[in-house]
């Protein structure tokens, strides 16, 4: 077991370490392979912790590494208390924690509490009979008189949310793959078992958790049908898209379970919890899951993750949903992650990728809340087009060609540009790296003071050095067409942040310009003009 890093639990400003933190997400399959099998592992991550620390981030979030049959690449857990052999051992995890803490990095684990693998021992016992001790640890239901599923609920990954189990003579529910049976988190015994898992990893030195799909944790016990969704402008690729998901998820009892998790983590020094919340009504649920001081510390939704275009109006709406008001939780933000396509491919024009990336990264660094950097964003990695015959993502395979593959964002990290597989592995990588991403490898950017990598390092340090960015309030001043202006204000600092989202220059000057001094800028922005994709941060001096 290992202690958490840093002797002081709070920052110099008196806030907990995570308030305003920069978090770096690692997908273990794709970060660094230490044994040549083509799949990244814990020892590989440990070997790159010095690099992660060099970014200046506060914590590293590691996507699931638990024992799993890998039907959904670790989000189908068969043993929450062990490491899958492809990633290593518990000793490897302990070594990772120890080195991270030596470097001043906190480590966050990914908790998957809405479902398990169908190979989990709990499910094996539950399906064995109707009266065993775990018989109601999962969501079981009888068939309708005609043998069809109990209701119309649809799986995220396609088809119905129900699979017939002949051993038990009932259907079991799954919001995702049929190999991911839904836990019955309404059951207090299930909650207790999940809390024991939280305690296990806290005792092992984990500093926080990202909680996966928490709004899927509880369903309507009456199993009422979902109503149809109104027709929209988007393409419907799955039956899931035809329903309003109001009965298979988002049950009002979820916040009470969240409070139990928070009560446990509060028994440990300065632990942090952030919930993933997607769906049609994420704002309401994120507020419920982070309300007051008795729920999760933070939550992040999908405001930016699937946005086809980044606009001032989008940013304004997202930020103003999280006012600095008593009782309102603390937000976290991600532009991309292991499920969502890389933002540089979605937003940046082909002829100005670098300029756009610098503007967007400066925006990201100035948001109120925590920011989560998805591995490779600091390099400017783009979405890789994976041919059908090389796809690994079960959702993309099932819904080809209409669903964008998650594999395209999960491609391996390029470490060395001139090596065949980018220094990621000595074997055959589980996914191709992509030629354009290989050219952006760490070794080529590390010593270049003008690289996006070193720009990102500078921005992370800039964010950490300015109290207003870490914990100050945010006021949007302008959000029209391509111009976004907001202020960040703390007790000791007043900043104005201005951004041009477009390719045409904008005339912009702060009010009373002689009372401001520019402290950061990109793309030749000045106090009188924001060139194409220009942005600046100015500090009030009088």
Please list the active-site residues: 212, 276
Q: Which helix (DSSP H) or strand (DSSP E) does residue 353 occupy?
A: helix 353-365
Let me know: does 486 contact 518? Beta carbons within 8 Å.
Answer: no
Q: What are phi and psi of 364, to 5 degrees?
A: -55, -45
- Nearest Cα neighbor of 533 from 373, 352, 367 is 352
Report the Cα 145 to chain-centroid distance in Å.
42
Q: How many CB atoms lie within 10 A of CB 180?
A: 25
* DSSP secondary structure, 457-473, as one string: HHHHHHHHH-HHHHH-E
Is 262 strand, coil or helix?
helix
Between CA 407 and CA 392 the distance in angstroms is 7
Place of tokens 């790159």: 48
| Structural element, H or E, at residue 442 | helix 442-446
| Angle, alpha carbons 477-360-350 (nearest 5°) | 130
Q: Which of 274, 330, 332 is nearest to 303 (CA)?
A: 332
Is residue 391 a contact partner of residue 411, using CB atoms and an 8 Å limit? no
What is the torsional sign of CA 165, 168, 169, 170?
negative
The residue among 181, 178, 84, 80 whose CA lies nearest residue 139 is: 181
- How far is the C-alpha of 83 from the C-alpha of 86, rounded, in Å? 8
């Amino acid at each position: 077991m290992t202690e958490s890093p840093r002797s002081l639990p709070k920052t110099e400003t008196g806030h907990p370490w995570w308030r305003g933190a920069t978090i770096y997400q690692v997908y273990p399959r794709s970060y660094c392979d230490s044994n040549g099998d083509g799949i990244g592992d814990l020892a590989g991550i440990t070997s790159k912790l010095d690099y992660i620390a060099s970014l200046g981030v506060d914590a590293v979030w590691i996507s699931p590494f638990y024992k799993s049959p890998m039907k959904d690449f670790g989000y189908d857990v068969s043993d929450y208390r062990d490491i899958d052999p492809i990633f290593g051992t518990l000793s490897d995890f302990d070594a990772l924690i120890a080195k991270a803490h030596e470097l001043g990095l906190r480590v966050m684990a990914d908790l998957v509490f809405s479902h398990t693998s169908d190979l989990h021992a709990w499910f094996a016992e539950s399906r064995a009979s109707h009266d065993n001790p775990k018989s109601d640890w999962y969501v079981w239901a009888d068939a309708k008189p005609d043998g069809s599923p109990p209701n119309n609920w649809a799986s995220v990954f396609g088809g119905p949310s129900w699979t017939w189990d002949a051993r038990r003579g009932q259907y079991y529910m799954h919001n995702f793959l049929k190999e991911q049976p839904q836990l019955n988190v309404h059951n207090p015994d299930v909650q207790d078992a999940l809390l024991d898992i939280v305690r296990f990893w806290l005792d092992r030195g984990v500093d926080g958790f990202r909680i996966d799909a928490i709004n899927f944790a509880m369903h309507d016990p009456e199993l009422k049908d979902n109503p149809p969704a109104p027709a929209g402008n988007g393409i419907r690729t799955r039956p899931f898209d035809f329903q309003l998901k109001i009965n298979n998820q988002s049950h009002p009892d979820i916040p009470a379970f969240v409070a139990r998790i928070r009560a446990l983590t509060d028994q440990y020094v300065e632990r942090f919890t952030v919930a993933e919340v997607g769906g049609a009504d994420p704002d309401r649920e994120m507020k419920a899951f982070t309300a007051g001081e008795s729920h999760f510390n933070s939550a992040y939704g999908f405001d930016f993750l699937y946005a086809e275009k980044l606009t001032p109006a989008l940013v304004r709406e997202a930020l103003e949903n999280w006012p600095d008001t008593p009782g309102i939780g603390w937000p976290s933000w991600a532009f991309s992650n292991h499920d969502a396509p890389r933002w540089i491919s979605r937003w940046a024009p082909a002829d100005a990728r670098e300029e756009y990336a610098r503007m967007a990264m400066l925006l990201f660094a100035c948001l109120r809340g925590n920011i989560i950097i998805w591995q490779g964003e600091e390099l400017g990695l783009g979405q890789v087009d994976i041919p059908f015959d090389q796809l690994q993502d079960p959702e993309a395979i099932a819904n080809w060609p209409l669903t964008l593959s998650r594999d395209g964002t999960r491609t391996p990290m390029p470490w060395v540009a001139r090596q065949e597989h980018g220094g990621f592995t000595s074997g055959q990588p589980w996914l191709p790296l992509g030629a354009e991403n290989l050219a952006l490898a760490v070794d080529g950017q590390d010593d270049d003071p003008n690289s996006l990598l070193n720009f990102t390092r500078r921005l992370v340090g800039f964010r950490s050095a300015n109290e207003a960015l870490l914990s100050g309030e945010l006021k949007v001043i302008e959000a029209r067409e391509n111009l976004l202006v907001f202020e960040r204000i703390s007790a000791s600092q007043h900043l104005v942040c201005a951004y041009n989202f477009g390719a045409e220059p904008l005339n912009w000057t702060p009010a009373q310009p002689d009372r401001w001094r520019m402290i950061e800028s990109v793309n030749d922005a000045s106090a009188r003009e924001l060139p194409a994709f220009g942005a600046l941060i100015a500090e009030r001096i009088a």
